[in-house]
Structures are given as structure tokens and as C-alpha cells.
A and B are shown apart, each in its own frame.
Chain A
Amino acid sequence: MASQPIVIIGSGLAGYTVAREFRKLDTATPLLILSADHGGFYSKPMLSNAHLQKKNVDGLLIKSRAQMADELKAEIRPHARVTRIDPLRKEIIVNEVALPYHKLVLALGADPIRLALSGDGAPDVLSVNDLDDYRVFRGALAGKTRVAILGAGLIGCEFANDLTGAGYKVDVIDLAPQVLGRLLPPASAAFMQRKLEEAGVRFHLQSSTVSVERTGGHHTVSLSSGTTIETDVILSAVGLRPRVALALAAGITINRGVTVDTLLQTSAEDVYALGDCAEVAGKVLPYILPIMHAARALASTLSGKPVRVRYPHMPVAVKTPACPAVILAPDGIAPGNWLIEENHDGVKSLFYKMGQELHGFALLGSSISDKNYLIQSLPLLD
């Protein structure tokens, strides 16, 4: 039995799921989890639906660090900053102290991308990437009525719907000509946009945000189109960038994310990576289902039985109550056509590859009930 612990850097969904799955297989090997924050467990997808679920910030915390440590039979260090990894000596430097590891798991997550904005209000732009950020955001919302959201992607649309539902006046700005630009064909994006507009969201598409100025007690957001928006709180949701700096400094191969193979192994021996920081066999998939599958495979590998991650078809659910959506985006490289069927309460878009094989779908509104039937119609994955 190894005397050195398995060390997991990161206490988000990826880190904690690996730990939970590992403990189902191995109850003896010491487990050390390093958290950059409080180390409590919460559901990140719920941050953009919290008003709808009638949750306040404290209500979002599902388990405290102490409960997690108890359940996982793990040592969990909160507010631990890892400054360096030394794969040759098999140790990491935490708060200036070297800690040895038997195996190391990087579950570092990703950083929100920040737009370069001018104006004295630019530093007031918030982003929500974790529960502590969300606490700041809710604090900023208190007593206010207006929110501007930068980004009409999945997170931007979810927040927009959640905030209009809670009575806020919401403006959403995106450079793209449509909502959910990376996930939806234009015709179904138009339906989603209409439903969100009916719920009260105002969109400013094909516009970039140029500056944010403080104006008395509120903010003025200026767009490239010349439009100005008077608002109280500004939330940026323009995407995530995998955290690769630690790996890079340690000489571990990175690309867009920390490069790993289907065993979730990095270029350094006994160092693994998964979740939003990782690029698994060429793909960065910052969604829940890929994390769950990767965590199960990695837990088995860590317990001594190597398992390669194999993803099933993994549709992404968009939690916008005005227009719920389930999307299995086709591979960017696949040539083919969308076939779109719209009725008044939903849109079913099916992507057929040349050769007529179903390859992806985007289901909006009432058509989400077709999800399971469609998944069964997809070709099996190898």
C-alpha cells in the first residue's frame, strides 16, 4: 500500500467526483484535496438558476468542507494555493511547503475570460465562476433593478432568464448575430431569443461592449453600435479559459487545456488531469457529463485498474425555463445539414451528416421530450 497520498488539486465537481468515485473502490489510500476556496461542495450549474430554485447563497452550499472530509475520508485543505508542481520529485509546493504525492490529479478548473473594456467602471464588471463569486454578485444585486450581461451563450442566457424571473430588467450583449452561437443553428436560435424576449430579456446582438462608465450610482455601458445602456450591475459571461499555468511551469504538455490522453494522463508520470482544465484527446468539454465520465474512469485508474474514458452521446441541457433546451452539437468538422421543424411551442432541429446519418440535434421547448428517442437513433460511438 502506498504511504504517500493521492493528491487532488481542486474541490470543484471534477475533484470531488474523482474523490467520491475513488472511495467506492479504495477506502484505504490516503486522499488529500487542496481547495483554493472554502472547500464546501455546491452545484455549479445551479448558480445560474438560483433565483428560480428560490435559493440564497448559503442555500446553494450542499455540504461543508467538514462534511466532505468525513464522507470522503480525506484531508481537505481550504484556501490552499499550490504554487509549483515538481513531477520529478513527485511533490507539490503548497503555501511554501513541499508535499509529496503518490499520484497527482489536476482538477484546476478554468478562469472566466475578461474582455478588455475601457472606462472607469470596467473594474466593476463581475463574473460568476464559483460560489464565492456568486455571493459577490448577489451582494451587488441587492437593492438594484437592472443587470447587463456580456455574452449570450449558455451561461449568459441562463442568468438572463433567472434574473428576469426574479424581476430584474436584463440587457444581454453579444458580438454574435444569434444566441447560443456555438450550440444552435440560426433558425432555432431565433426561437430561443424570441422566448427569452417574451420573458423580458432585451438583446443587443452583433454589438461589442466598448466601455463601462460609472454614472452617479449606476453604470453606463457603451456598445460598438452606438447604443448606450443604463444599468446597475454588469455580469460578464463570455467564456472560460482552462487553467494551465501550473502545468506549463512544471514542463507538462499543454495545448488549449492540460493535454491528456483517454487515461486522463498528462505528459508527466503519475500526473492526471480532468474537468474544465483538461483537453482530453484533443477536446475541451467544459460540461457536467464529460466530467462525470472522466471522473469514473480516472477513479478506476487511480485504484490500480486502468480504464480509458469513453464518452457516450452527451447532450447539454440549457436551463432556461422560458425555453428549455437540450442540445447535442454536431462536431464542428462534420459537413451536413440542419433539418428544422418548428411549431408554436418548440423547435426540433436535426443535423444530418452527408450520407443521411443523424449526427446531432437541438431541441427547444416542447420538443425536448424527443431527446431519448433521438439518442437511440444516433450511431453508436466506438
Chain B
Amino acid sequence: MKTWQCIVCGFIYNEASGDPEHGIAPGTRWEDVPGSWSCPDCGVAKADFEMVVI
């Protein structure tokens, strides 16, 4: 499980926890998050996220 970080606001998407409040189940891998999903904190598109090495 990896984590990804929004380049604009620092929001972290953790694959293990997903984003259930926006319909992304825990355990959803980043590549399976739909392209229409956007950062819940700042609204940037999925394509604008960067991967964070943990």
C-alpha cells in the first residue's frame, strides 16, 4: 500500500484507508481511483497528484 500527496495542499491519499467519504473504499490502489476523483481539500485533479515515498 502506497501513499500519494497532493502537490497543491499537501493532502495525503493513503491506499490503505482510501477515501470512503467520497466513494473510494479502503484498500483502493491509486491506479484504481477514478480519474474524476479530485483532492477533497483543494479540488486538484487526480492527474495533479504526486507520489510520496514513505
**CB atoms of A289 and B10 under 8 A apart:** no
Contact with B along A271-293 (1 / 0, CB 8 A): 00000000000000000110011
Bound form: Cα–Cα A85–B9 in Å: 31
Known contacts: A62-B50, A372-B22. The answer to whether A292 contacts B8 by CB under 8 A is yes
Which residues on A sit within 8 Å (CB–CB) of B43?
288-289, 292-293
Query: Chain B at the A interface: mostly helix, strand, loop or mixed?
Result: loop
Residues of B within 8 A of A293 (CB): 43
Q: A62-B50, A369-B21, A372-B21 are in contact. Are A288 and B41 (CB under 8 A)?
A: yes
- Specify which chain B residues have a CB less than 8 angstroms from the CB of A43 in the assembled complex: 6-10
Interface residues of B in 22-51 (CB under 8 A from A): 22, 41-44, 48, 50
Check A146 for interface membership: any CB of B closer than 8 A.
no
Identify the closest chain B residue to A49 (Cβ).
Answer: B10
- Whether A317 lies near B41 (C-beta < 8 A) is yes
Q: Which of chain A's residues 25-72 have a Cβ closer than 8 Å to chain B? A: 41, 43, 45-46, 49, 53, 62
B8 and A288 form a contact (CB under 8 A): yes
- For A46, give its contact among B10, B21, B44 (CB under 8 Å): B10
Q: A131 near B: Cβ within 8 Å?
A: no
Task: Kindly state the separation between the CA atoms of A164 and B15 in the bound complex, as whole angstroms.
Answer: 29
Are A288 and B22 in touch, CB under 8 angstroms? Answer: no
In this complex, which of A43, A49, A293, A319 has the most chain B Cβ atoms within 10 angstroms of its Cβ? A43
Q: Give the CA-CA distance A43 to B6 in the complex, in Å.
A: 9
Would B50 and A288 count as touching, CB distance under 8 A? no
A289 contacts across to B, CB distance below 8 A: 42-43
User: Inside 8 A of B21's CB, which chain A residues have their CB?
Assistant: 369, 371-372
Q: Is the CB of B10 within 8 A of A53?
A: yes
Which of chain B's residues 5-23 have a Cβ closer than 8 Å to chain A? Answer: 6-10, 21-22
Q: Which residues of A contact B42 (CB under 8 A)?
A: 288-289, 292
Q: Which residues of the partner chain B approach A319 to less than 8 Å between Cβ atoms?
A: 10
Cross-chain contact B50 with A45 (CB below 8 angstroms): no
In angstroms, how far is the closest chain B Cβ from the Cβ of A192?
Answer: 18
How far apart are the CA atoms of A13 and B7 in the complex, in Å? 10
Contact B9 A288 (CB under 8 A): yes
Closest Cβ of chain B to A291, distance in Å, is 9
Q: How far is the CB of B47 from chain A (nearest CB, A)?
A: 9
9 A-B residue pairs with CB within 8 Å:
A17-B8, A43-B10, A45-B8, A46-B9, A62-B7, A288-B43, A292-B42, A317-B9, A371-B21
Query: What residue in chain A is nearest B38 (Cβ atoms)?
Result: A292
Q: 20 other contacts beyond A53-B10, A371-B21, with CB at 8 A cut-off?
A: A13-B8, A20-B48, A41-B7, A43-B6, A43-B8, A45-B9, A45-B10, A46-B10, A49-B10, A62-B7, A288-B8, A288-B41, A288-B42, A288-B43, A292-B8, A292-B43, A292-B44, A293-B43, A317-B9, A372-B21
